Every structure is written in C-alpha cells, then in structure tokens.
Structure 1
Amino acid sequence: MLSRRTLLAGSALALLAGCSPSEPPPGPPAVPPPTRPSVLRDPVTVQRMPSVARGTDVDLVLITPAGVPAAGLPVCLALHGRGAQARTFLSLGVPDLLTAAVRAGTPPFAIAAVDGANYWVDVGSGDDPQRMLTEELPTWLTGRDLLPASAVFGISMGGFGALRFARAHPDLKAVATASAALFVDWPDARSRKVFSGEDNWRAEEPLLHTADLRPGTLGVWCGESDPFLGADRKLVKAVSPAVARFSPGGHKDEYWRGILPDVLEFVGERLR
C-alpha cells in the first residue's frame, strides 16, 4: 500500500511545470470583486482587487480543496518570490496538491495569494504590501465567507515577507518559509537594490528580529544548493523552529514543488 507521503509526492510530480513568459498566466481569467459577500463556488478563483496600500490593482487568487465547501475555512496566506506573482502558486500546482493533502487526511483550509513587491515591506516608495495584508486582505476574505488568515507561507522573497508578517501577528498558528531570501548583512541586502537604506533594511530584516518569532509555529525549508542556505541555517539556529528541513535542491520550482506536500501538511495540522 502506498504511504501518505508517497501519494503526496506523486501528486507533485504530475503537476504542470512553470509557465514561460510567452504563455498565458495560469488559472482562470480574473473577475471583478463581488459587490456583496459571496461564497466561493470554484476551487480556484482569481479576482482583480484595488489596493490603496499598494497604489495599484492586484490579483487575489483563492484556492480551496476540491469537493470541500469553502464557507468558514481557515486561511493560509501565500506570498510569492521576487519576479513572480500570485498566480505563480497555480503554476506550482498548489490546487492539486492542496486537494491531495486534504484527501490524505490533512484538515481542509483555503489558500489566499496576492501580488506583492519590495520583499513585502514598505521601502518608502508609497507601496506597502504589509499594510495590504493587514488592513485590506481580511475584508477581502470575510467578504467571501472565509475566516481571516491564521497562517502564512512564503517562497524566497515571500519567506522574508512571511516572517515580517509573523512579527506583527504573533497569534498566527503556522508560519512556513521555503528558501527564504534573508540577508546576513547590509552589503548583501543593499545589492538587491530594493531597500531605501540600511535603517529601512534593519527595521525589516527577519534575522535581526528573531526574538519576535514563535518557534512552535515556525517551519523552515531550504535546498542544500540554495544561495540562501547559510542565512536560513542562521534563522534555524536563532529560533529553533518546530520544523527545519534541509534537503537536496536549489532555488527553483522543482525544489518547491517537491517540498510543498510537507508544507501543506505542516500548515493544515496547525490550523486544525
């Protein structure tokens, strides 16, 4: 008999590869936001939402397990990496993986992804993704009969953003990062040409504020060939998270598809 882990890993291998720039964006076409509370009817919906905090319209991608009523589900935020977008979680196969995880016994939950930038923090440009997550997204979720977010997961730049979000929301039940883009010093961070200055970086950098993180809710994944491996090991040493898994792989889609079943199980069990 196949084990639960084998079934989930098999689902990951069957997923579509990432889309090339010439291909249409993954998922259904975006639809206008509802004018009144509306229960989700499809496992995947994409809506264009005006974000005052970011000063632009963003995609709101909502993913629920197939065959599970969406109303009242707990929510995990999904924060994408630099150069990606909310729809990236569709090309990574999250809808199928979430359904597979729930069918294998993980408690059901919804995933909400939105477009972000600037390592998901305010860098003084008038674009504040953290404010969007804190002030605007909860209303977008409750307007669709979902619960406010009680977990967050981030890939690369999104891992930086997830840890920053966790610092401001200590009541989160689960915080997960994959290949978190963290910076051990200012010259490294400055090379990214994102932060407005050293003070801005120091205020936001998760490695400088590890005391604000709760070990029991944190899970850290990183590939052993990832350029951020050293920084992520430093995070693990400082926080001693509930889960810390370093395995073969680099900073690429193939690695993230492979560890997503573990991440979804980690989140779902804590949202129980």
Structure 2
Amino acid sequence: MADNSLQDPRTKYPVPPFPKQQQDVPGEQSQMQPVPDCGESSYAGAGKLAGRKAVITGGDSGIGRAVAIAYAREGADILISYLDEHEDAQSTAQLVRDAGRKCVLVPGDIQDQEHCKEIIQRAVDELGGIDILVNNAAFQMSHKDLSEFSAHEFDRTFRTNVYATFFLTQAAVPHMPPGSSVINTASINADKPNATLVAYAATKGALQNLTGGLAQLLAEKGIRVNCVAPGPVWTPLIPSTMDAEKASQFGAQVPLKRPGQPAELAAAYVMLASEGGSYISGATIAVTGGVPLI
C-alpha cells in the first residue's frame, strides 16, 4: 500500500556516499548497493491505463522497470525490450505478471533497425497492438579526456539513444491509434551537458529536439509525443559506466543532495501515457531533484 504521509524528499531515499562499486556494462540491478527502488512494494495503480498495450525499451531494470511496474498496475500489458540482462528482465516480467498483466520479453540490440521492427511486430502479434511506446534504453560512457571517446563508442551511443528511438517510432506509428502516446527518456544533460558525458549528452539534446519535431508531425494522427528528463537516477547505468569513486558520490550535487530512485519517475510516465496528459505533447517533464531546466 502506498504511503501517503508527508516525507522529507531529502531523506526519503538513501543519501550518498554509497559503497564503492563497479560493474561491467550494462550492469545488473540486483548487484547494486543499495538496490534501486523501482516501486516494487510501493506503487499502487488506479486503472489509468486499463486495457492498453505498451512497449518499453530498457524495461528490465532502473527507470524502465519502474515504468513497467507502474503501467502493469495501472492495467496495461507490456512488452519489454532489453539487451541481454536476462535475470533482471525475468524479475521484471514476474512483477508485471503478478499484477495480472501479460508480459513479453524480447532480448536484442536496438542499434539494429531490423531488430526494432521485430520488437514492434512482436507487440502487434502478442499484445494485439501498441498504444504506448516508451523509448527508454540508453548507452553512455564517462571519460575525462576527449581522446578517450572512440568513434565506435560515439556511434554506439547515437545508435542506441537516437537512431533506435527513430527506428522504433517509425515502425510503431502505423499500428498506433489516435490517443496513443510516445514517451522518450531524455536527460538533464540535454540542457546542462556534463563534460565527461560528451557523447551521451549530445544524444539527449538530439532526442529532446526529435521529440519536439515528432510531436508536431504526429499530431495529425492524434498521437502525442513527449519526453521525461531525469536528473541523476540510481540505476545500473551508474556503476557500469562510471568509476567507483564517482558512483559513490552520485547525486550529491543536486539541491536534494541525493540521486532519484526509479520509482520517483514512474508517475510522470503514467501521466504522459494516460488521459490525464491528453493536451500535453512536445513537452519535457523534468525530474531532476531540484535542478531547474532553463
């Protein structure tokens, strides 16, 4: 059951420093200290997405898992796209099924356009359609010197974060009825780029711009397109793409002095996908722990 009592946002969740930790990319949620809160025991649905069908990339862990849990408890069936984090994906699928909803798992690399088409076709075939597309999967690496960014890494970052969003949206739109919603996970880095995340920050700026263009282009079909811009959020991306010292202090720089937990973003994704967001399109919803996007 949800806790509706007032809570101090500065201390509601763990505050850094965290134990020093590092993982291989893409990282596993179960190995993190502390383990992220994706709303497993706290999110309570109210039928806001009853009968809808959602595709969520990167839905195995982190923000994607929180969105999958929330959508399922709001009444949606889910397809989760993920790279190769099978254990995390199975755990998320079980949480969706525990909510009484269908869950389809599709592993693979969304850098590949044909795989993106396969994801959409699987949703059409196994869920019966698509009403919500959440482009959430992302790749990043952190470097202190420009020379450390390889061409391969730069290309991988753009293909995962930007190209895949375009591939998936292009494939999904013909199957999406009026009233459908596309939600892209942008970042505070689109407005306030981190110097050590040059490639990632650039993709998030591109993604925010792409969102605005798609919102205008798809309005004539009755499809809304928005993005959520998280600040520092405690997900497997952090210990797998940052050094242990930096990960231990992650989130301390924002006004609330801690990273967000994935569960704290779920409500934004629910609102944008539901009828409560029916006049919102082309918008960026900032969830940044107090950092203004100006």
TM-score, length of structure 1 as denominator length:
0.41
Tell me which of the two structures has the higher relative contact order, counting C-alpha pairs closer than 8 angstroms and 6 or more residues apart.
Answer: 2
Which structure: greater helix fraction? Answer: 2
Query: Which structure dedicates a bigger proportion of its chain to strand?
Result: 1
